[in-house]
Amino acid sequence: SSQRAVRLAALCLLTGSDLEELGLRLRLDRRTYKEAAGLLLEVSQPIPTAEYQVRRRLCKAGPTLLSCALRLRGDLSSSDAPAAASAVQMMRRILRRGDPYRLEMLAVTGEDLIQAGLVPGPRIKRTLLELLDAVLENPGCNQKETLLRLVHARKNEESALR
pLDDT at residue number 152: 87
pTM reported for the whole predicted model:
0.84
Ordered alpha helix ranges (H), the chain: 3-15, 19-26, 30-43, 51-61, 63-76, 81-97, 110-115, 122-137, 144-161
Q: How confident is the model at residue 154 (pLDDT cuts 50, 70, 90)?
A: confident
pLDDT at residue number 22: 86
Q: How confident is the model at residue 162 (pLDDT cuts 50, 70, 90)?
A: low
Q: How confident is the model at residue 156 (pLDDT cuts 50, 70, 90)?
A: confident
Which of helix, strand or coil describes residue 130?
helix
pLDDT at residue number 24: 86
Q: How confident is the model at residue 26 (pLDDT cuts 50, 70, 90)?
A: confident
Q: How confident is the model at residue 38 (pLDDT cuts 50, 70, 90)?
A: very high
Reference 92, options 118, 61, 58, 116; nearest CA is 58
Q: What is the 3-state secondary structure (H, E, C) of 97-112?
A: HCCCCCHHHCCCCHHH
Tell me which DSSP letter residue 142 carries.
-
pLDDT at residue number 159: 63
The answer for residues whose C-beta is within 8 angstroms of residue 139's C-beta and 6 or more apart is 55, 97, 99, 100
pLDDT digits (tens, 9 = 90+) for 97-150: 999 999 999 999 999 999 988 888 998 999 999 999 999 999 999 999 999 999
pLDDT digits (tens, 9 = 90+) for 47-103: 999 999 999 999 999 999 999 999 999 998 999 999 999 999 999 999 999 999 999
Q: Residue type at 31?
A: R
